[in-house]
Amino acid sequence: MLVDLLLAIAHFLLVFAIVAVLTMELMLLKPGLSGAAVEKLGRVDAIYGGAATLLILAGFGRVFLGLKGSAFYIGNPVFWAKIIAFAALGLISIQPTMRILAWRKAAKADPGFAPSPAEIAGVRRLVHAETAMLVLVVIFASMMARGIGM
């Protein structure tokens, strides 16, 4: 029971952390982004990747070590919708991460580097799409908690 509780707590806190990190990314992704802000954005994005990885581990820990048992999850189509939404979030996040890494490299090579407003706007759109996928994940999680799909 303690393992289930700890996994549930970790799972919820990591979702909140991801919301906070995506919010920080959106706050940093503004025209005029350069230098130290690019570096900070890179660190924030790395935290996002770490939190997402830990969220996956905690989530699958709940599936296989939690009190409800894996059958509760594996047989539930809403669980699979949640997994697909999270996978879509992960796939969407690849492009912003690649852009941010390129910006960091460019900023290290040229302290005056600044991504174009169009590049920043494109990455912002993708982070908004990630946020939308996260909202879907939370909706599916709420449905599962109420036994929908069983």
pLDDT tens-digit map of 36-70: 999 999 999 999 999 999 999 999 999 999 998 99
Find all residues with CB under 8 Å of 128, minimum gap 6, and list them.
Answer: 26
Are 35 and 12 in contact by the 8 Å Cβ rule? The answer is no
Enter the tokens of residue 13: 């806190």
* Average pLDDT value for residue range 87-114: 96
Annotate 132-147 with DSSP letters as a single string. HHHHHHHHHHHHHHTT
Q: Answer whether residue 34 shows pLDDT above 90.
A: no
Annotate 43-101 with DSSP letters as a single string. HHHHHHHHHHHHHHHHHHHHHHHSTT-HHHHHT-HHHHHHHHHHHHHHHHHHHHHHHHH
Q: What is the pLDDT of residue 150?
A: 83
Are 66 and 4 in contact by the 8 Å Cβ rule? The answer is yes
Q: What is the dihedral of CA 63, 83, 79, 7, to 10 degrees?
A: 30
pLDDT tens-digit map of 102-139: 999 999 999 899 999 999 999 999 999 999 999 999 99
pLDDT tens-digit map of 10-29: 999 999 999 999 999 999 99
| pTM for this predicted structure | 0.92
Mean pLDDT, the chain, rounded, equals 96
Q: Answer whether residue 35 shows pLDDT above 90.
A: no
Find all residues with CB under 8 Å of 146, minimum gap 6, and list them.
Answer: none
Amino acid at 49: G
Enter the tokens of residue 82: 């949640």
* Average pLDDT value for residue range 93-101: 98
